């Protein structure tokens, strides 16, 4: 992203012609994006795509002192809406951030992330298991809402033992 913006600014300096357009930005983003992530540009810029991500259940068990295993039961769905409003489900095999969080300290809105990494998710139900070094309290998918999800409130769940 930074490289694309830097190139755009270099090629379209303020007060110089031609001024940059959104199409210029998109071309720079395409040039800077690796092939493995091109699908995301298409989903975010070319089509009206949204995701339905949800965490059904989050559990944690202590394996030994300083090691916890967090297991998430999740579901994922991806859909595209056409110009007439018709929705069509499309296969999902996307990178989605998975987060596990510590208890919130006094005055904090949420706890510090204990685990925050992208996982390849496919359409449907699946289970994700990750290790953490402290006892977690919340976990789920796309915790910072980077993807367009119409029901974001089910992305994270409180962890049960």
User: Would you kindly state where each structural domain of the chain is located, as residue ranges?
Assistant: 2-32, 49-158
Question: 151: buried, middle or exposed (CB in 10 Å: 19+, 13-18, 0-12)?
Answer: exposed
Calpha distance 103→115 (Å, rounded): 13
Calpha distance 63→69 (Å, rounded): 7
pTM to 2 decimals? 0.82
Place of tokens 């390849």: 120
Calpha distance 46→29 (Å, rounded): 13
Per-residue pLDDT of the chain (161 residues; tens, 9 = 90+): 788 888 887 888 777 667 888 888 888 888 888 888 888 888 888 889 999 999 999 999 999 999 999 999 999 999 999 888 899 999 999 999 999 999 988 888 778 999 999 999 999 999 999 999 999 999 999 999 999 998 999 999 999 75
Q: What is the CATH number of domain 49-158?
A: 2.60.40
């Amino acid at each position: 992203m930074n490289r694309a913006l830097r190139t755009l600014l270099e090629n379209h300096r303020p007060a110089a012609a031609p001024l940059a357009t959104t199409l210029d930005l998109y071309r720079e983003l395409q040039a800077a994006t690796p092939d493995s992530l091109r699908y995301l540009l298409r989903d975010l810029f070319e089509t009206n795509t949204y995701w339905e991500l949800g965490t059904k259940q989050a559990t944690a068990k202590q394996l030994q002192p300083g090691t916890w295993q967090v297991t998430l039961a999740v579901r994922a769905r991806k859909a595209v809406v056409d110009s007439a409003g018709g929705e069509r489900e499309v296969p999902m095999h996307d990178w989605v951030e998975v987060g596990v969080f510590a208890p919130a300290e006094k005055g904090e809105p949420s706890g510090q992330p204990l685990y925050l990494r992208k996982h390849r998710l496919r359409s449907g139900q699946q289970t994700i298991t990750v290790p953490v070094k402290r006892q977690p309290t919340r976990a789920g998918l796309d915790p910072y809402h980077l993807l367009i999800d119409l029901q974001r409130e089910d992305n994270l769940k409180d962890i049960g033992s």
